[in-house]
């Protein structure tokens, strides 16, 4: 892993951590498999309405464009 990639991943983990220092577990829908995944520590999540929610693939694509 390059130092630049490690720096980006470190920044993402720091942004997502909660008060205890852990990455919150979030349930996410998998549109390809058409199932709800069990709670996972997703890096792309945000706090909305008092809950952590996954960031959708379409939102990530729009941000990258």
pLDDT of residue 23: 93
Give the pTM. 0.70
Q: What is the pLDDT of residues 15-63, one digit of tens each?
A: 889 889 999 999 999 989 999 999 999 989 988 898 999 999 899 999 9
The H-or-E segment that residue 48 falls in is: strand 45-48
pLDDT of residue 4: 95
pLDDT of residue 19: 87
């Amino acid at each position: 892993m390059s130092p630049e990639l490690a720096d980006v991943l470190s920044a993402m983990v720091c942004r997502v951590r909660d008060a205890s220092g852990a990455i919150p577990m979030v349930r996410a829908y998998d549109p390809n498999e058409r199932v709800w995944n069990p709670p996972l520590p997703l890096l792309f999540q945000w706090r909305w309405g008092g809950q952590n929610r996954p960031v959708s693939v379409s939102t990530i694509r729009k941000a990258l464009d």
